[in-house]
A = this chain, B = another copy of it.
Amino acid sequence: MTQQTIRVDLGPRGYDVRVGAGLLAQLGPSLSAMKGVRQAVIITDSRVASIHAAAAVQSVRSAGLDAPVLVFPAGEEHKNLSTFGRLMDSLFALAPAIDRDSLIVALGGGVCGDLAGFVAATALRGLRWVQCPTTLLADVDASVGGKTSVDHPAGKNLIGAFHQPSAVLVDVLALGTLPARQISNGLAECVKHALIADAAGLEFLEAHAADLLAAQPELMARLIAHDVAIKAAVVSADERESGVRSHLNFGHTIGHAIEITVGLDRILHGEAVSLGMLAACRLARWRGLIGEDLVERVARLLAGLNLPVRWGGLDAQAIETAMLHDKKVRSGRIRFILPTGAGRVDVFEDIPAPLVRQAIESLAG
């Protein structure tokens, strides 16, 4: 399989995302090629550690670098300040002590990237870091943009920083160890990318749904490289999320609120985004931006990718309250990203509350 490299163009903070098979086993050489790296601190969760840590450590050590491993308990409920503090305790207890020639490797899914990235952003006021995502969701979403964070009881990702990695290595072989539900979870973000910027991508997803669900490596590499390029283009144009980058929040306005309300232990991020995208499509339909055919097409695609198009027991009132607490809300106005066609979205701030309520209620299972 050929390896593909996508440049995320952010001037002095720019970096390469490499997509291919077996990249984890090449971690060591990749790091030793960077200037002045002496030590790679691998941060990973308890689930990923047992599958991938040994290979990563061996590769780093073979390259002549020190490779301590810090493990935190798997699960989004651990992506908080308390786990962050314990990782810092472990980091500063390392011998030899970390310094500015130390680099952080985030080995795992989105939670690991967010958490280890936030450690990298703030340890010694900023260390270099390399992302090695191991889930499809992290491959196509968290691997581009430099967003790092932990959750707070008041909401997801409320505490964090923008801190671009030095490199991202996407090893598609890691997807072979993922449960089917996690593949669908990642495909939700691919549907998002297609709907906001890539009508042809929508057809690709429709045509290859079965092979994608089977995580066929060649196809996965093609999909991931394509999606990373889409996200890289958006992020390059708007690093700090003041303009066009907000399009990436399509499906997330309602989706985030559903995620919090239903509970991170019951619904996956991509599943909540699936529901959020469908609700956004319906808002767009009622607003006259798109036809019923596109709404039905999206619902059919999501269902075909084993993503939910309805959910039992949704609490519409609680979801609305959670939406008002989203950190992207400015002065109490909720911004919706709505489709204006296949592969096109725009920002709307004037969607009436009763319509939003109706869209949420349309998702009830």
Contact = CB atoms under 8 A, between A and B. Distances in A.
Interface stretch (A178-186, A226-234, A321-329): A321-329
Given A92-B155, A147-B125, A327 B161 contact: no
A153 B149 CA distance: 23
Nearest to A327: B124
A122 interface: yes
A121 B121 CA distance: 11
A123 interface: yes
B154 A101 contact: no
A152 B96 contact: no
Contact of A159 (B123, B153, B329): B123
A341 to B, nearest CB: 29
Contact of A123 (B84, B153, B158): B158
A88 interface: yes
Nearest to A123: B159
A92 B152 contact: yes
Interface string A159-178: 11110000000000000000
B101 A125 contact: no
A84 B144 CA distance: 28
Nearest to A39: B331
A25 B258 CA distance: 45
A99 B330 CA distance: 6
Interface in A310-350: 324-325, 327-332
Contacts of A93: 154
B99 A329 contact: yes
A64 interface: no
A361 to B, nearest CB: 24
A329 B324 CA distance: 45
Interface residues of A, number: 41
Contacts of A89: 152-153
A332 B98 CA distance: 9
Nearest to A124: B327
A285 interface: no
A101 B161 contact: no
A152 B87 CA distance: 12
A162 B38 CA distance: 23
A159 B38 contact: no
B125 A162 contact: yes
Given A88-B152, A92-B152, A100 B327 contact: yes
A73 interface: no
- The winner among A84, A101, A327 for most chain B CB atoms within 10 A is A327
A81 interface: yes
Q: State the 10 A-B residue pairs at the shortest beta-carbon distance, nearest first.
A: A92-B154, A124-B327, A125-B160, A81-B85, A101-B331, A122-B159, A99-B329, A99-B330, A38-B331, A100-B330
